A and B are shown apart, each in its own frame.
Chain A
Amino acid sequence: SQTIHQWPATLVQPVGSPLSLECTVEGTSNPNLYWYRQAAGRGLQLLFYSVGIGQISSEVPQNLSASRPQDRQFILSSKKLLLSDSGFYLCAWDMAAGSGNTQYFGPGTRLTVL
């Protein structure tokens, strides 16, 4: 069966510090991968998605970036965090082929920027 991992689970960082969040998927090959951000009490904002190694699409301009160095690894980064970067970061995956594919979420990383 497929499993998706995210770490760390929680993170407190000062403004201006760098960020690296990691997501890995097990039990599947060539998944689509997604990074979402959710502000407190708000909806799911799609940040990035990837259909393959090295292929990243950005949905929202911001000071975040994403990379996919391996098939089942997705990394979210920032060089300098802003207060507005605080939120709940969720990684998700779905099967690459066809439509009607369900997205499955990892447990999330709760980021607080102070």
Chain B
Amino acid sequence: AQTVTQSQPEMSVQEAETVTLSCTYDTSESDYYLFWYKQPPSRQMILVIRQEAYKQQNATENRFSVNFQKAAKSFSLKISDSQLGDAAMYFCAYRSALTGTASKLTFGTGTRLQVTL
């Protein structure tokens, strides 16, 4: 079974600065997808970014980018120019790409990000 580990329960960043959230995962599969979801105080789960394991290029979405290290099974999220609205819980998630398997998401325990002035 796949597992996802987020070892930083809480992080803090100053507005306009850059912060990196860590995520590691364990799998025996070679093809899969990785995601970062954001959960603000409203509790809505919002997709931040996705990465396909077969692509070596790191995904980027505006101020959000990832550092995907497949051999190390590491998938960190970098937030540049942090804004107050980035304050939220961030979840890393794994999904198998194997045909015929359940396409459920396996989540990490989350990292709470605080953004200070």
Check if A and B associate: no
Residues of chain B whose beta carbon lies under 8 Å from any beta carbon of chain A: none
Residues of chain A whose beta carbon lies under 8 Å from any beta carbon of chain B: none
